[in-house]
Chains A and B, each alone.
Chain A
Amino acid sequence: MTLVLVAAGCVSTGGQAKQVSAGKSGGIFRYFLGEPVSIDPAFVLDGEGLQVAKELFDGLVDYDPKTSKVKGAVAVRWRSNKAADEWTFWLKEDVRFHNGRSVEAKDFVYAWNRVAAKKTASEVAYHLAPIKGFTQVQRGKKSKMSGLSAPERYVLKVKLNYPFADFPTVLGHPVFSPVPQEEVAKGQAKFALSPVGNGPFAMAAPWKHQRSISVKRFDDYYGQPAYLDGVDFQINDNDQGGFLQFQGGGLDYAPIPGGQIGVVREQFGDRAVIGQAQQILNLYGFNLRKAPFKGNAKLRQAINYAVNRKVIADEIYEGAFLSAGSIVPPGVVDYRTPKANYRYSLVRAKSLLKQAGHPAGRGLPTIKLVYSAGRGLDGPAQIFQENMRALGIKVRLEGLERGAFIKAMMGGDMSMFAAGWSGDYPSRDSFLYSLFYSESGDNVFGYANEKVDELIIEARKSLDPEDRRRLYDEAQELILKDAPLVPLTFVGTSFVHSPDAQGFVRTAMDNTPLDRVWLTD
């Protein structure tokens, strides 16, 4: 058996490189946060929960905050078999939970089985679907996934249902964090309010719902300890209020409310971080199961050429979002712009529309675009409507309440829909497989292309990162050519931080590793 090493072609050392300019210790950072659904790794669903859970928990791996490359966290190194469906992880031996106990391989086994368990009924259990035995545990037939074992105290073995070379990338999500069984045993409700993890920060007090989450530096942390004494996550679900609070000196970090980005950019200079692409693609999907888009790639391409993404990105989102010329966001490792990137061209659009059999839109019904109302999607939709009018296509906009929107999506009662897809991991797979693999549950378009399926599965098997990138990129080119969607924008950052905050980096996963942040004052 050939042993193949992953992560930049060598054994990952895992430790963080010591910072050249050491920061100053001390201080409490006041961070604006929307109310998370949960900060317990088993239920982390949203960006807010991810931000907090990432401070409280360290999984096997983490992502480099700047390049998104996978690096070791609790795992010191890992490797897979040749088929990429059996993975072994060697753990650091000096990692401790906040309660002082050593983190061992069995804690990962326990935590992952807990997420998969039927009784837990986690919304995000799907992350573990690649692991052997997941389905039986989800159904409640077994309590432990057969693919998961701890042959030694600090060695974790994972068997997968299929080859998956990007598996280590998946493991940076907090749902894969180790969890101390003895703490959960004290009561799930208690653990949900005050999770005990192994990250750079520990809970300073139980979560006060809709008020605050306070964490303090964990002094027994195995890595470089955090500079800050603690972080006070001040919970607020109103950007405007949070921003005013920031201006009033009550916060060290706050998002910029929509419509004020231009002004804030001028006012705050460097302290306003605007337009750094995140792992979220905003898109308009075509319903490929129904006329007029079923089997009419030319029509879908025509629409793609007629959408002026740049106007949407620059005018509606004031430059905070980026116009999307691809499906995979620029934040992934080794990003390349695809050839089929649909740069705006009304001439090409009109010619394609003619080839599609609808010169100047003749013979096309009014197209219904549904979207979830109250999420700021009206502006872009109106520009889309105008762009389509220039092409001769009539579009009716229907902003629906969230529940109604999901119902419409499931019922297929629309010709186009607006959706945002946020990648769970900074990988091509989490966009291409999830959305476009013919059997994926999230393939909302009804898209199926055998060649694309083949390329994606090939890519999943390939342990050579360069080869893998090539295969995924090839699949992306094909998908873009088939045009089951209109890639619209990539969500970008738009926030301000206080002048005292140093080392403030936003990752592609839209979180800030607060252990690297320090205050000058």
Chain B
Amino acid sequence: MLGYTWRRLLGTLPILLGVTVLLFLLLQLLPGDPARLLTGDRTPSAQTITNLQERLEVTGPLYVQYIDYLGDLARGNLGASYQTQQPVIDIIGQTLPNSLRLAVLAFVIELAVAIPAGVIAAVKRDSLFDRFSFLLTTVIIALPVFLLGLFFQLLFGIRLRWLPVAGLGDGSFQYHLMPALVLGLMAAAYLARVVRSAMLDALSEDYILAARANGLPARRIIFLHALKNALPPVLALAGLHFGFLIGSSIAVETVFSWPGLGRRLYNAILYRDRPLIVGVTLTMSFLFMLVNLIVDLMQAWLNPRVRLANRGRIDV
């Protein structure tokens, strides 16, 4: 298992390298010289542009810039933001914890809502609960994130005054709750459906019928036998979701003025802020792969066939 983990971790390196190459090339293709973009609505003099290009270190051919970047990267230097001149590592250090805390909390909410809801909907198939939860998840999936966010802000922030409307405030828990709820519920709506269908599949298996025939208590059948077998696809999706929760919550971060990675990335793209774009994307990619690895390890733990396949290379 340890060897497998190491192999996987090492395997992320070429992927991360690929990410940097891709980003360098893609950013080159985008119209707009970063030096020119920095000067706002003014038309800068040629000298100003030259000075800026030297400050940004975007002179010379792209491959030289790329090699320089890799050299810096190897020394742990991600460079400085074009826009604010702040070291990228500092920016990530400031925003990543905010994004991570939000993602973890949203993830907990997602699981806490989706698994019970999906299980109940499957067990009590076609009941009122099942139909209601189908309707509700459809609405949430169809609803744009910012609308749900706005609705929550109006309800909990302005009308009821239970929670602060936006921002990180002093960083206390109450500021996290609303954005995490929105993120968590959006993700839960998808996951609940997967849980439901995986549970339905599991419940229709022969071994469940056998367990029922043997007179095992219903609770034991549902939670031990059915749920454990329904979990692998659920876990796979939840893992993907966690990656999504870290990185793609730009809409939520914007609605709630959350100082996270997503918003920084969005701003960086507008300004072709290459060091920041590459740095943030690298971080996100690495986290995403890490989460996937953890999910795979959990899959292996849940499903001996995966574990064995990786150990002895036995085809299953």
Question: Across the interface, do B44 and A441 meet the contact criterion of CB distance under 8 Å?
Answer: yes
Q: Please tell me if B2 contacts chain A, counting CB pairs below 8 Å.
A: no
Residue in contact with A209 in the complex, picked from B55, B150, B259, CB distance below 8 Å: B259
Residues of B within 8 A of A120 (CB): 51
Known: A123-B48, A407-B31. A209 touches B86 (CB 8 A): yes
Count: A-B pairs, CB below 8 Å: 140
Question: Across the interface, do A247 and B167 meet the contact criterion of CB distance under 8 Å?
Answer: no
Interface positions of B from 21 to 80, Cβ below 8 Å from A:
30-32, 36-45, 47-48, 51-52, 54-55
Give the docked Cα–Cα distance between A402 and B39 (Å): 12
Residues of B within 8 A of A242 (CB): 166, 257
Which chain B residue has the least Cβ–Cβ distance from A411? B31
Residues of B within 8 A of A406 (CB): 31-32, 36-37
Residue in contact with A441 in the complex, picked from B45, B54, B153, B154, CB distance below 8 Å: B45
Give the docked Cα–Cα distance between A441 and B47 (Å): 12
Question: Across the interface, do B153 and A241 meet the contact criterion of CB distance under 8 Å?
Answer: yes
A103 to chain B, nearest CB (A): 25
Which chain A residue has the least Cβ–Cβ distance from B146? A240
A135 to chain B, nearest CB (A): 7
Which chain B residue has the least Cβ–Cβ distance from A420? B41
A387 to chain B, nearest CB (A): 25
Question: Across the interface, do B257 and A442 meet the contact criterion of CB distance under 8 Å?
Answer: no
Residues of A within 8 A of B91 (CB): 209
Q: Please tell me if A511 contacts chain B, counting CB pairs below 8 Å.
A: no
Residues of B within 8 A of A192 (CB): 84-86
Q: Please tell me if A45 contacts chain B, counting CB pairs below 8 Å.
A: yes
Question: Across the interface, do A403 and B38 meet the contact criterion of CB distance under 8 Å?
Answer: no
Residues on B facing A (Cβ under 8 Å): 30-32, 36-45, 47-48, 51-52, 54-55, 83-87, 91, 94-95, 150, 153-154, 157-158, 161, 164-168, 254-257, 259, 263-264, 267, 270, 272
Residue in contact with B48 in the complex, picked from A138, A210, A249, CB distance below 8 Å: A138
Residues of B within 8 A of A250 (CB): 164-167
Question: Across the interface, do B257 and A238 meet the contact criterion of CB distance under 8 Å?
Answer: yes
Give the docked Cα–Cα distance between A125 and B46 (Å): 12
Interface positions of A from 171 to 230, Cβ below 8 Å from B:
188-189, 192, 208-211
A289 to chain B, nearest CB (A): 15
Question: Across the interface, do B52 and A123 meet the contact criterion of CB distance under 8 Å?
Answer: yes
Question: Across the interface, do A442 and B43 meet the contact criterion of CB distance under 8 Å?
Answer: yes
A-B contact pairs, 11 of them (CB 8 A): A46-B40, A123-B52, A126-B48, A189-B86, A208-B94, A210-B94, A211-B167, A241-B256, A242-B257, A248-B153, A403-B272
B259 to chain A, nearest CB (A): 4
Residue in contact with A45 in the complex, picked from B40, B43, B87, B165, CB distance below 8 Å: B40
Q: Please tell me if A146 contacts chain B, counting CB pairs below 8 Å.
A: no
Question: Across the interface, do B86 and A211 meet the contact criterion of CB distance under 8 Å?
Answer: no
Question: Across the interface, do B52 and A244 meet the contact criterion of CB distance under 8 Å?
Answer: no
A264 to chain B, nearest CB (A): 14
Interface positions of A from 388 to 410, Cβ below 8 Å from B:
401-404, 406-407, 410
Q: Please tell me if A454 contacts chain B, counting CB pairs below 8 Å.
A: no
Give the docked Cα–Cα distance between A452 and B53 (Å): 35
Residues on A facing B (Cβ under 8 Å): 35, 37-38, 43, 45-46, 118, 120-121, 123-126, 129, 135, 138-139, 188-189, 192, 208-211, 234-238, 240-242, 244-245, 247-250, 401-404, 406-407, 410, 419-422, 441-442, 444
Which chain B residue has the least Cβ–Cβ distance from A422? B41
Residues of B within 8 A of A121 (CB): 48, 51-52, 54-55
Residue in contact with A244 in the complex, picked from B44, B166, B263, CB distance below 8 Å: B166
Question: Across the interface, do B45 and A118 meet the contact criterion of CB distance under 8 Å?
Answer: no
Known: A248-B161, A404-B31. A240 touches B150 (CB 8 A): yes
Which chain A residue has the least Cβ–Cβ distance from B36? A406
Question: Across the interface, do B41 and A421 meet the contact criterion of CB distance under 8 Å?
Answer: yes
Residues of A within 8 A of B47 (CB): 135, 138-139
Using A138-B45, A241-B254, A407-B31 as known contacts, list a sample of 8 further A-B pairs with CB atoms less than 8 Å apart, ordered by residue number in A: A138-B51, A210-B259, A211-B168, A241-B166, A403-B37, A406-B31, A420-B41, A444-B43
Which chain A residue has the least Cβ–Cβ distance from B153? A244
Give the docked Cα–Cα distance between A118 and B54 (Å): 9
Residue in contact with A210 in the complex, picked from B87, B166, B263, CB distance below 8 Å: B263
Which chain B residue has the least Cβ–Cβ distance from A211? B259
Question: Across the interface, do B255 and A238 meet the contact criterion of CB distance under 8 Å?
Answer: yes
A288 to chain B, nearest CB (A): 16
Residues of B within 8 A of A404 (CB): 31-32
Which chain B residue has the least Cβ–Cβ distance from A234? B167
Give the docked Cα–Cα distance between A188 and B55 (Å): 14
Question: Across the interface, do B158 and A248 meet the contact criterion of CB distance under 8 Å?
Answer: yes
Residues of A within 8 A of B43 (CB): 441-442, 444
Residues of A within 8 A of B150 (CB): 240, 244
Residues of B within 8 A of A38 (CB): 84-85
Question: Across the interface, do A189 and B85 meet the contact criterion of CB distance under 8 Å?
Answer: yes
Give the docked Cα–Cα distance between A402 and B33 (Å): 11
Known: A211-B259, A248-B164. A126 touches B45 (CB 8 A): yes
Question: Across the interface, do A244 and B37 meet the contact criterion of CB distance under 8 Å?
Answer: no
